Structure formats: C-alpha cells, structure tokens
A = this chain, B = another copy of it.
Amino acid sequence: MRELPTGGPPPSGPRPTGRSPVRRATMRDVAALAGVSVKSVSRVINGGDAVSADLREKVSRAIERLDFQPNLAASSLRRSDGVTGQIALLLEDLANPFSATLNRAVEDVAHRHGTLVFAGSLEEDGNRELALVRASTLRRVDGIIIAPATRDHGYLNREVRAGTPVVFVDRAPRGLSADHVLSTNAEGARDAVLHLADNGHERIAYLGDHPSIPTAADRLRGYTGAMRDLGLAVDPRLVVQGLSATGAAAAATTALLSGDAPPTALFTSQNLVTIGAVTALQGLGRQREVAVVGFDDFPLADLLSPKVTVVAQDVPEIGATAARLLFGRIAGDDPPHRACSVPTRLVVRESGLIPPR
C-alpha cells in the first residue's frame, strides 16, 4: 500500500526535500479519507450531477485537508471532449512590441475561457515553426494561433482534420483554408502615401522589408497603387526592399538622400525601418526637411521631434479577434473560414506634414 499524505504535520524522520517530493494526493486518497467512492469525489469536483449536501461536505473537507488538486492532464485524457484548456500562440518574436501586445490580447481572452497559452517565437525560421507546432500537438492543445514563418502551411491540414483548429494572424494561410486576421496593409500604405501627397510630395520613397514577407508585399502594393492613382511615377530608384533592421534602414536612407534623385518624403513600411530612417535623418540633421510616414506605431513616436506620423495597427483587436474565432471553433462552431480585416489608422503627428523643398 502506498503512503498516504496526511494533511497533518509530517511524521518524524527526514524532512522532505526537492529530491523526494511529497506525493500529491489523488482522488483515491480523497475518497478514502472521506469514506466515499472515487466517483463521488469526481461528481463533487465537476458539479453537474446532483450530490447530497452531506457527501459534498465530507468530500470538500477531505480535499481541503489533503490539499488535493485534480490532475487536468489525466482528466482530459479520459474525458470525451478531450479538451485540455491549453492553446498555442506562435509569433515571430515574443520580445517585439507587436508580438508582445498580441500575446497579451490573446491571453486575456484565453483567461476568460479557463485556458493557458503556450507562447513561442518562430524567428522567421520554418524549422522552428514545425518543431513548435509539433510540440504543441503532442501536448494536444485545443487550438493554435499562428503568424507563420513557412511559406506553405498545407502541413497543418492534418492537425485541423484531427480536430485542432488553427487561426492565422498577420499572414494569410497558404495551402489550406483557415480563419485569418490581418491588418489592412495595402489600404494603410495607401493612406500613408495619400497623406504625403496631400502635403505636396511627389517624390515619395518606399523603404521596406523583403517582398517574400507577405505583409511587406501588401504594403508595397498599396504604395505603388496609390502612386499610380495619383499619377505619380514609381521611380525604381526610390524603392528599397530587403530591409529588416534599423542599421540597414539607416544606411539605405542615407544613400537615398545623398543620391542623384533624392526623395522629399519617405514611406517606411515597418517599425524598425522607420526607426532606422529617423535615426539617419537625425544623423544628417535633416529630420525637419524630409517627411516621414511609418507603418506601425511605436512607443515614444510622439516624444521624438518631429513627432513621427504613422499608420497604426490595432494589435489588441487583431489578437482578440483571432482568439474569439479560435474559441468559437473549439466550442464546435464550424462556419466557412473567415478572413477578418482589422482597419489601420493614420495617426497624424508632425513628420508627415513637412512640405517638400
């Protein structure tokens, strides 16, 4: 017979240490102490079935005394719906503001559903994505929210078929049909260009990430579309791609402005690129001469001088929407897959109002 935890003071002898932990009480222990069956303990814990007040009382006392904490893994292993109360959230980098804010928004919705969130960073690494998705399904998460690093997501079909819903954020699914929640990237980029054009600019540069990144491609599309609609030429010398860090963006900005056909305004299609461009402008002492509109708001954008005008994404809304879609499917909803667009918003500050010169 195995030793039962007593709830009272430990018997004399060696103190428990980390290496010989006190065994956690199980339902059997509770049942034995309360003098009832295991099933009755289960009933008291899960509610549902009717239980007499007396039995409930006895069981509750035993639970208290033994500090019993039901093992959820065992529970969901046996239970018919198999729900684990765990979801996975796989983003680019939990440390960056976009991912971190999204994480928080998803956590809040999950919390209301009694669900814990496995958060992971993909680092634009397809293999890491595969590993983390697998790690998640091995633990039978109830669902996955993902901003994928891979280009083809067909491999997720089997998970979806096995009953694990997947919702995409920030990037659209390829190779499978699934719910996804995206910012209006093209429209937001268009708004940025129109704002600069409104202030008299014609030579507007695009500084962005590699076009293999879908959001970057969408924002470029918004830029070129707006330029065309305005009757402005898209000068290839003013389009710089492949920028993903502040350093490269700063260098590109400096090169652009010292070239033979300099722009009078910059549209920077991403956070770090914006910061790099602003840094370069400050270095050149020209931050009040060249207009800037950035995609993505960032903390302190309104403390810089000039204050930086941006197209802001509603990141909490993206996260909350994705989480709601996911929990809907976890609950059994099965409507056709939805594509949700979360509007961006032009936040007019100062840097976009600088006139051409």
Contact = CB atoms under 8 A, between A and B. Distances in A.
A230 interface: no
A60 interface: no
Given A101-B95, A121-B107, A138 B18 contact: no
Interface stretch (A51-59, A237-245, A295-303, A348-356): A295-303
A208 interface: no
Nearest to A89: B119
Interface residues of A, number: 66
Contacts of A344: none
Interface string A112-130: 0010111111000000000
A21 B116 contact: no
A334 B19 CA distance: 7
A22 B162 contact: yes
B73 A140 contact: yes
Nearest to A136: B116
Contact of A282 (B24, B282, B303): B303
Interface in A1-17: 16-17
B140 A329 contact: no
Given A21-B162, A95-B101, A73 B139 contact: yes
A309 interface: no
B119 A107 contact: yes
A147 to B, nearest CB: 15
Contacts of A148: none
A69 B135 contact: no
28 contacts: A17-B334, A18-B163, A18-B334, A22-B163, A23-B162, A70-B138, A72-B140, A73-B84, A73-B140, A85-B135, A86-B118, A93-B104, A94-B119, A95-B97, A95-B104, A96-B100, A107-B119, A107-B120, A107-B121, A114-B135, A117-B120, A275-B299, A275-B303, A282-B303, A298-B299, A299-B299, A300-B304, A303-B304
